[in-house]
Structure 1
Amino acid sequence: MAEGGIQSRYVKLTKDQAPLDEEIRPGELNQPIQVPQLAVRKCNECGQPLPESFEPPGVEPWTTGIFGCAEDTESCWTGLFCPCVLFGRNVESLREDTPWTTPCICHAICVEGGIALATATAIFHGVDPRTSFLICEGLLFAWWMCGIYTGLARQSLQKKYHLKNSPCDPCMVHCCMHWCALCQEHREMQGRLSDNVVMPMTVVNPPPIQEMNASGDNQNSAPSSTNNVEHTNLEMQAL
Protein backbone atom coordinates (compact mmCIF):
# COMPACT_ATOMS: atom_id res chain seq x y z
CA MET A 1 0.00 0.00 0.00
CA ALA A 2 1.26 3.48 -0.81
CA GLU A 3 0.95 6.53 1.38
CA GLY A 4 -2.55 8.02 1.80
CA GLY A 5 -4.30 4.69 1.29
CA ILE A 6 -3.81 4.67 -2.51
CA GLN A 7 -2.86 1.26 -3.90
CA SER A 8 0.26 1.22 -6.08
CA ARG A 9 -0.05 0.10 -9.71
CA TYR A 10 3.40 -1.50 -9.67
CA VAL A 11 3.75 -5.12 -8.67
CA LYS A 12 6.97 -6.10 -7.00
CA LEU A 13 8.30 -9.41 -8.19
CA THR A 14 9.77 -11.78 -5.71
CA LYS A 15 13.00 -13.63 -6.23
CA ASP A 16 11.18 -16.80 -7.22
CA GLN A 17 9.08 -15.03 -9.86
CA ALA A 18 12.00 -13.33 -11.67
CA PRO A 19 13.10 -15.09 -14.90
CA LEU A 20 16.42 -16.74 -14.26
CA ASP A 21 17.14 -18.06 -17.76
CA GLU A 22 17.13 -14.65 -19.51
CA GLU A 23 19.81 -12.84 -17.62
CA ILE A 24 21.50 -9.95 -19.48
CA ARG A 25 25.23 -10.38 -19.68
CA PRO A 26 27.68 -7.44 -19.63
CA GLY A 27 28.11 -5.96 -23.08
CA GLU A 28 25.19 -7.83 -24.60
CA LEU A 29 23.23 -4.65 -25.35
CA ASN A 30 26.21 -3.01 -27.12
CA GLN A 31 26.30 -5.40 -30.07
CA PRO A 32 26.25 -3.81 -33.58
CA ILE A 33 23.02 -3.92 -35.52
CA GLN A 34 23.02 -4.79 -39.21
CA VAL A 35 21.15 -2.12 -41.21
CA PRO A 36 20.52 -3.17 -44.83
CA GLN A 37 20.27 0.45 -46.01
CA LEU A 38 23.83 1.11 -44.87
CA ALA A 39 25.35 -1.98 -46.50
CA VAL A 40 26.22 -0.36 -49.83
CA ARG A 41 29.17 -0.69 -52.13
CA LYS A 42 31.77 2.03 -51.93
CA CYS A 43 34.41 3.24 -54.34
CA ASN A 44 37.89 1.96 -53.55
CA GLU A 45 39.45 5.27 -54.60
CA CYS A 46 37.26 7.94 -52.94
CA GLY A 47 35.07 5.90 -50.56
CA GLN A 48 31.78 7.30 -51.85
CA PRO A 49 28.71 5.01 -52.02
CA LEU A 50 27.92 3.57 -55.43
CA PRO A 51 24.43 2.97 -56.86
CA GLU A 52 23.12 -0.55 -57.20
CA SER A 53 23.17 -0.36 -60.99
CA PHE A 54 26.87 0.58 -61.07
CA GLU A 55 29.12 -1.80 -62.95
CA PRO A 56 32.90 -1.46 -62.79
CA PRO A 57 34.59 -0.76 -66.14
CA GLY A 58 36.21 -3.63 -67.90
CA VAL A 59 39.94 -4.20 -67.89
CA GLU A 60 41.54 -2.96 -71.11
CA PRO A 61 44.76 -4.27 -72.62
CA TRP A 62 47.83 -2.13 -73.23
CA THR A 63 47.93 -0.56 -76.67
CA THR A 64 51.57 -1.61 -77.15
CA GLY A 65 53.62 -4.45 -75.77
CA ILE A 66 56.34 -4.05 -73.19
CA PHE A 67 58.99 -4.96 -75.78
CA GLY A 68 57.69 -2.51 -78.38
CA CYS A 69 60.34 0.12 -77.69
CA ALA A 70 61.23 0.41 -81.38
CA GLU A 71 57.73 1.73 -82.18
CA ASP A 72 58.73 5.14 -80.76
CA THR A 73 62.41 5.83 -81.36
CA GLU A 74 62.40 9.16 -79.51
CA SER A 75 61.19 7.72 -76.21
CA CYS A 76 63.43 4.69 -76.73
CA TRP A 77 66.62 6.76 -76.92
CA THR A 78 65.48 9.02 -74.09
CA GLY A 79 64.71 6.07 -71.83
CA LEU A 80 68.05 4.43 -72.65
CA PHE A 81 70.33 7.39 -71.97
CA CYS A 82 68.16 9.58 -69.68
CA PRO A 83 65.57 7.37 -67.96
CA CYS A 84 65.07 9.96 -65.23
CA VAL A 85 63.89 12.52 -67.80
CA LEU A 86 61.46 10.08 -69.42
CA PHE A 87 60.07 9.08 -66.03
CA GLY A 88 59.59 12.73 -65.11
CA ARG A 89 57.64 13.37 -68.32
CA ASN A 90 55.45 10.33 -67.66
CA VAL A 91 54.55 11.49 -64.16
CA GLU A 92 53.87 15.02 -65.39
CA SER A 93 51.43 13.67 -68.00
CA LEU A 94 49.80 11.45 -65.40
CA ARG A 95 49.51 14.08 -62.66
CA GLU A 96 48.99 17.60 -63.87
CA ASP A 97 49.86 19.15 -60.49
CA THR A 98 53.33 17.55 -60.40
CA PRO A 99 56.16 19.11 -62.47
CA TRP A 100 58.46 16.73 -64.27
CA THR A 101 61.55 17.93 -62.40
CA THR A 102 60.47 16.45 -59.03
CA PRO A 103 60.16 12.79 -60.13
CA CYS A 104 63.19 13.25 -62.38
CA ILE A 105 65.37 14.23 -59.41
CA CYS A 106 64.01 11.38 -57.26
CA HIS A 107 64.75 8.89 -60.02
CA ALA A 108 68.24 10.30 -60.53
CA ILE A 109 69.02 10.00 -56.81
CA CYS A 110 67.94 6.35 -56.72
CA VAL A 111 69.48 5.04 -59.94
CA GLU A 112 72.07 7.45 -61.29
CA GLY A 113 73.15 8.45 -57.78
CA GLY A 114 73.59 4.84 -56.72
CA ILE A 115 75.65 4.03 -59.79
CA ALA A 116 77.83 7.11 -59.30
CA LEU A 117 78.40 6.25 -55.63
CA ALA A 118 79.36 2.67 -56.48
CA THR A 119 81.80 3.88 -59.13
CA ALA A 120 83.39 6.37 -56.73
CA THR A 121 83.74 3.70 -54.05
CA ALA A 122 85.47 1.33 -56.47
CA ILE A 123 87.86 4.08 -57.63
CA PHE A 124 88.93 5.38 -54.21
CA HIS A 125 88.88 2.14 -52.21
CA GLY A 126 89.79 -0.39 -54.85
CA VAL A 127 87.97 -3.60 -55.68
CA ASP A 128 88.27 -6.21 -52.94
CA PRO A 129 85.75 -8.72 -51.55
CA ARG A 130 84.58 -6.40 -48.80
CA THR A 131 84.21 -3.39 -51.09
CA SER A 132 82.49 -5.45 -53.76
CA PHE A 133 79.94 -6.66 -51.24
CA LEU A 134 79.17 -3.10 -50.13
CA ILE A 135 78.88 -1.92 -53.73
CA CYS A 136 76.48 -4.72 -54.68
CA GLU A 137 74.43 -4.19 -51.54
CA GLY A 138 74.11 -0.45 -52.22
CA LEU A 139 73.18 -0.98 -55.86
CA LEU A 140 70.51 -3.56 -55.00
CA PHE A 141 69.00 -1.29 -52.37
CA ALA A 142 68.92 1.69 -54.74
CA TRP A 143 67.41 -0.45 -57.51
CA TRP A 144 64.81 -1.83 -55.12
CA MET A 145 63.79 1.66 -54.00
CA CYS A 146 63.60 2.81 -57.61
CA GLY A 147 61.42 -0.17 -58.52
CA ILE A 148 58.95 0.61 -55.75
CA TYR A 149 58.81 4.33 -56.60
CA THR A 150 58.37 3.87 -60.33
CA GLY A 151 56.03 0.92 -59.79
CA LEU A 152 53.62 3.12 -57.84
CA ALA A 153 53.45 5.48 -60.82
CA ARG A 154 52.74 2.54 -63.13
CA GLN A 155 50.01 1.36 -60.76
CA SER A 156 48.38 4.81 -60.87
CA LEU A 157 48.47 4.66 -64.67
CA GLN A 158 46.75 1.28 -64.65
CA LYS A 159 44.01 2.53 -62.32
CA LYS A 160 43.43 5.65 -64.40
CA TYR A 161 42.96 3.80 -67.70
CA HIS A 162 41.82 0.44 -66.19
CA LEU A 163 44.76 -1.45 -67.62
CA LYS A 164 45.60 -4.97 -66.63
CA ASN A 165 48.92 -5.98 -65.12
CA SER A 166 51.43 -6.67 -67.84
CA PRO A 167 53.08 -9.04 -67.37
CA CYS A 168 53.02 -9.09 -63.52
CA ASP A 169 53.06 -6.72 -60.54
CA PRO A 170 54.03 -3.10 -61.43
CA CYS A 171 56.98 -3.02 -59.02
CA MET A 172 58.31 -6.32 -60.35
CA VAL A 173 57.97 -5.05 -63.91
CA HIS A 174 60.16 -2.04 -63.13
CA CYS A 175 62.67 -4.10 -61.16
CA CYS A 176 63.14 -6.59 -64.02
CA MET A 177 62.46 -4.47 -67.14
CA HIS A 178 62.77 -0.87 -66.00
CA TRP A 179 63.66 0.83 -69.30
CA CYS A 180 61.11 -1.15 -71.32
CA ALA A 181 58.39 -0.29 -68.76
CA LEU A 182 59.18 3.42 -68.94
CA CYS A 183 58.94 3.42 -72.74
CA GLN A 184 55.69 1.43 -72.67
CA GLU A 185 54.09 3.85 -70.19
CA HIS A 186 55.17 6.82 -72.32
CA ARG A 187 53.65 5.31 -75.47
CA GLU A 188 50.45 4.45 -73.62
CA MET A 189 49.87 7.98 -72.36
CA GLN A 190 50.81 9.55 -75.68
CA GLY A 191 48.23 7.39 -77.40
CA ARG A 192 45.44 8.03 -74.87
CA LEU A 193 45.81 11.73 -74.15
CA SER A 194 43.36 13.74 -76.23
CA ASP A 195 45.66 16.77 -76.29
CA ASN A 196 48.11 14.94 -78.54
CA VAL A 197 45.53 13.81 -81.08
CA VAL A 198 45.14 16.15 -84.05
CA MET A 199 41.48 16.40 -85.06
CA PRO A 200 40.62 17.43 -88.64
CA MET A 201 39.01 20.87 -88.87
CA THR A 202 36.20 21.69 -91.30
CA VAL A 203 36.22 25.25 -92.64
CA VAL A 204 32.73 26.60 -93.36
CA ASN A 205 32.43 29.79 -95.41
CA PRO A 206 29.40 31.96 -94.55
CA PRO A 207 26.93 32.75 -97.34
CA PRO A 208 27.07 36.22 -98.98
CA ILE A 209 24.98 38.99 -97.44
CA GLN A 210 21.78 39.65 -99.37
CA GLU A 211 19.67 42.81 -99.28
CA MET A 212 16.14 43.54 -100.53
CA ASN A 213 15.62 46.98 -102.19
CA ALA A 214 12.44 48.56 -103.68
CA SER A 215 12.85 49.55 -107.34
CA GLY A 216 12.33 53.26 -108.16
CA ASP A 217 11.12 52.70 -111.70
CA ASN A 218 7.91 54.66 -112.30
CA GLN A 219 6.86 52.51 -115.21
CA ASN A 220 6.84 49.31 -113.16
CA SER A 221 4.97 51.06 -110.35
CA ALA A 222 1.96 52.09 -112.51
CA PRO A 223 -1.42 50.92 -111.27
CA SER A 224 -2.98 48.02 -113.02
CA SER A 225 -6.13 48.62 -115.04
CA THR A 226 -7.68 45.30 -114.19
CA ASN A 227 -7.73 45.16 -110.39
CA ASN A 228 -6.26 48.53 -109.37
CA VAL A 229 -3.64 46.73 -107.24
CA GLU A 230 -0.30 48.47 -106.90
CA HIS A 231 2.62 46.14 -107.60
CA THR A 232 6.14 46.78 -106.33
CA ASN A 233 9.03 44.92 -107.90
CA LEU A 234 11.65 43.67 -105.46
CA GLU A 235 15.16 43.02 -106.57
CA MET A 236 17.73 40.93 -104.65
CA GLN A 237 21.30 41.98 -105.06
CA ALA A 238 24.37 40.18 -103.67
CA LEU A 239 26.89 42.44 -102.01
Structure 2
Amino acid sequence: MEAQHLHGKPQAEGQWSTGFCDCFSDCSNCCITCWCPCITFGQVADIVDRGATTCGTAGALYALISFITGCGCLYSCYYRKKMRAQYNIEGDDCSDCLKHFCCELCALTQQYRELTHRGFNMSLGWAGNLERNQGVAMGAPVFQGGMNR
Protein backbone atom coordinates (compact mmCIF):
# COMPACT_ATOMS: atom_id res chain seq x y z
CA MET A 1 0.00 0.00 0.00
CA GLU A 2 1.34 3.38 -0.79
CA ALA A 3 1.40 6.26 1.69
CA GLN A 4 -1.04 8.35 -0.39
CA HIS A 5 -3.77 5.74 0.13
CA LEU A 6 -3.19 5.56 3.88
CA HIS A 7 -3.40 9.27 4.44
CA GLY A 8 -6.16 10.22 2.01
CA LYS A 9 -5.80 13.30 -0.13
CA PRO A 10 -2.46 15.07 0.19
CA GLN A 11 -2.69 18.32 2.11
CA ALA A 12 -0.75 21.51 1.51
CA GLU A 13 2.01 21.69 4.06
CA GLY A 14 0.71 23.37 7.20
CA GLN A 15 -2.89 23.73 6.01
CA TRP A 16 -6.19 22.34 7.26
CA SER A 17 -8.05 20.44 4.54
CA THR A 18 -11.29 22.34 5.28
CA GLY A 19 -12.15 25.72 6.73
CA PHE A 20 -13.02 26.30 10.36
CA CYS A 21 -16.63 27.24 9.56
CA ASP A 22 -17.27 24.45 7.03
CA CYS A 23 -19.34 22.61 9.65
CA PHE A 24 -22.30 22.07 7.36
CA SER A 25 -20.30 20.29 4.65
CA ASP A 26 -20.90 17.11 6.69
CA CYS A 27 -24.43 17.44 8.04
CA SER A 28 -24.48 14.10 9.88
CA ASN A 29 -21.33 14.88 11.88
CA CYS A 30 -22.51 18.45 12.44
CA CYS A 31 -25.76 17.17 13.98
CA ILE A 32 -24.00 14.57 16.14
CA THR A 33 -21.51 17.16 17.36
CA CYS A 34 -24.27 19.67 18.07
CA TRP A 35 -26.30 17.24 20.20
CA CYS A 36 -23.50 15.19 21.72
CA PRO A 37 -20.01 16.65 21.22
CA CYS A 38 -18.53 13.96 23.46
CA ILE A 39 -19.01 11.43 20.62
CA THR A 40 -17.09 13.48 18.07
CA PHE A 41 -14.43 14.33 20.63
CA GLY A 42 -14.05 10.67 21.60
CA GLN A 43 -13.60 9.65 17.96
CA VAL A 44 -10.99 12.35 17.38
CA ALA A 45 -9.10 11.52 20.59
CA ASP A 46 -9.02 7.80 19.74
CA ILE A 47 -7.32 8.49 16.39
CA VAL A 48 -5.03 11.27 17.65
CA ASP A 49 -3.88 9.13 20.59
CA ARG A 50 -3.41 6.20 18.21
CA GLY A 51 -5.63 3.96 20.30
CA ALA A 52 -4.00 4.74 23.66
CA THR A 53 -7.24 6.43 24.73
CA THR A 54 -10.43 4.76 23.56
CA CYS A 55 -13.31 6.66 22.08
CA GLY A 56 -15.56 5.78 25.01
CA THR A 57 -13.03 6.78 27.66
CA ALA A 58 -12.17 10.10 26.02
CA GLY A 59 -15.83 10.90 25.33
CA ALA A 60 -16.86 10.08 28.89
CA LEU A 61 -14.07 12.18 30.37
CA TYR A 62 -14.99 15.07 28.06
CA ALA A 63 -18.65 14.79 29.13
CA LEU A 64 -17.68 14.66 32.82
CA ILE A 65 -15.40 17.70 32.56
CA SER A 66 -18.08 19.58 30.61
CA PHE A 67 -20.77 18.66 33.15
CA ILE A 68 -18.71 19.57 36.22
CA THR A 69 -16.84 22.64 35.00
CA GLY A 70 -18.56 23.62 31.77
CA CYS A 71 -15.09 23.75 30.19
CA GLY A 72 -14.71 20.58 28.15
CA CYS A 73 -13.21 22.91 25.55
CA LEU A 74 -9.97 23.00 27.56
CA TYR A 75 -9.61 19.24 27.22
CA SER A 76 -10.45 19.24 23.51
CA CYS A 77 -8.08 22.17 22.91
CA TYR A 78 -5.19 19.93 24.01
CA TYR A 79 -6.12 17.42 21.30
CA ARG A 80 -6.22 20.12 18.63
CA LYS A 81 -2.66 21.07 19.58
CA LYS A 82 -1.59 17.43 19.53
CA MET A 83 -3.22 16.86 16.14
CA ARG A 84 -1.57 19.95 14.65
CA ALA A 85 1.81 18.67 15.83
CA GLN A 86 1.23 15.19 14.36
CA TYR A 87 0.27 16.50 10.94
CA ASN A 88 2.38 19.68 10.92
CA ILE A 89 -0.66 21.95 10.61
CA GLU A 90 -0.21 25.67 11.17
CA GLY A 91 -1.56 27.37 14.26
CA ASP A 92 -0.63 28.14 17.83
CA ASP A 93 -1.83 27.35 21.33
CA CYS A 94 -3.64 30.65 21.77
CA SER A 95 -5.69 30.32 18.58
CA ASP A 96 -6.48 26.69 19.47
CA CYS A 97 -7.89 27.75 22.83
CA LEU A 98 -9.84 30.65 21.34
CA LYS A 99 -11.38 28.43 18.67
CA HIS A 100 -12.43 25.79 21.17
CA PHE A 101 -13.67 28.35 23.70
CA CYS A 102 -15.62 30.48 21.20
CA CYS A 103 -16.93 27.75 18.91
CA GLU A 104 -16.30 24.29 20.27
CA LEU A 105 -18.59 22.64 17.72
CA CYS A 106 -16.80 24.13 14.70
CA ALA A 107 -13.42 23.18 16.17
CA LEU A 108 -14.45 19.57 16.79
CA THR A 109 -16.06 19.12 13.38
CA GLN A 110 -12.99 20.59 11.67
CA GLN A 111 -10.75 18.08 13.45
CA TYR A 112 -13.14 15.26 12.54
CA ARG A 113 -13.15 16.32 8.87
CA GLU A 114 -9.36 16.61 8.83
CA LEU A 115 -8.91 13.04 10.04
CA THR A 116 -11.53 11.83 7.56
CA HIS A 117 -9.73 13.61 4.71
CA ARG A 118 -6.50 11.96 5.80
CA GLY A 119 -8.08 8.56 5.17
CA PHE A 120 -9.42 7.54 8.57
CA ASN A 121 -12.83 5.92 8.89
CA MET A 122 -13.87 7.61 12.13
CA SER A 123 -16.51 5.04 13.01
CA LEU A 124 -13.86 2.29 13.10
CA GLY A 125 -11.54 4.03 15.55
CA TRP A 126 -7.78 3.54 15.62
CA ALA A 127 -7.86 -0.26 15.99
CA GLY A 128 -10.39 -0.69 13.19
CA ASN A 129 -8.37 1.51 10.86
CA LEU A 130 -5.25 -0.51 11.60
CA GLU A 131 -7.10 -3.74 10.90
CA ARG A 132 -8.61 -2.32 7.71
CA ASN A 133 -5.13 -1.43 6.49
CA GLN A 134 -3.68 -4.80 7.52
CA GLY A 135 -1.61 -3.53 10.42
CA VAL A 136 0.12 -0.66 8.64
CA ALA A 137 0.62 2.10 11.20
CA MET A 138 -1.38 5.05 9.92
CA GLY A 139 -0.03 8.47 10.62
CA ALA A 140 3.48 7.23 11.25
CA PRO A 141 6.10 9.87 10.61
CA VAL A 142 7.74 9.82 7.20
CA PHE A 143 11.49 10.27 7.16
CA GLN A 144 12.89 11.82 4.04
CA GLY A 145 16.46 11.35 2.96
CA GLY A 146 19.17 9.32 4.53
CA MET A 147 21.72 10.07 7.16
CA ASN A 148 23.35 13.48 6.88
CA ARG A 149 26.50 14.81 8.38
Does the pair score TM above 0.5? yes
Show the counterpart of 1:108.
63
Report how far residue 143 of structure 1 moved.
3.3
**What is the correspondence of 1:41-60 to structure 2 with a 5 Å cutoff?**
59-60=13-14
Number of matched residues?
110
Task: Please report the TM-score for the alignment, with normalisation by the length of structure 2.
Answer: 0.66
Alignment CA distance shift 1:167-1:154 (3 Å) = closer
Deviations 1:189-229 (A, max 9, x none): 00013668xxxxxxxxxxxxxxxxxxxxxxxxxxxxxxxxx
Verify: 1:82 aligned to 2:8, yes or no: no
Show the counterpart of 1:71.
25
Q: Distance in 2 between matches of 1:81 and 1:148?
A: 19
Structure of greater Rg: 1
**Structure with more relative contact order (C-alpha pairs < 8 Å, separation 6 or more):** 2
Report how far residue 98 of structure 1 moved.
1.6
Show the counterpart of 1:94.
48
Gaps of 5+ in 2: 1-11, 123-149
Deviations 1:174-194 (A, max 9, x none): 111101100000000000136
Contact preservation (8 Å) 2:13, 2:89: yes
Q: Which amino acid aligns with 1:70?
A: F
Alignment CA distance shift 1:63-1:84 (3 Å) = same
Q: If each structure's strand is expressed as a fraction of its own residues, which one has the higher value?
A: 1
Alignment CA distance shift 1:166-1:80 (3 Å) = farther
Alignment CA distance shift 1:63-1:168 (3 Å) = farther
Alignment CA distance shift 1:87-1:172 (3 Å) = same
Show the counterpart of 1:178.
104
Overall identity of the aligned pairs, in %: 25
Contact preservation (8 Å) 1:167, 1:173: no
Report how far residue 103 of structure 1 moved.
1.0
Gaps of 5+ in 1: 1-57, 115-141, 197-239
Contact preservation (8 Å) 1:143, 1:175: no
Task: Please report the TM-score for the alignment, with normalisation by the length of structure 1.
Answer: 0.42
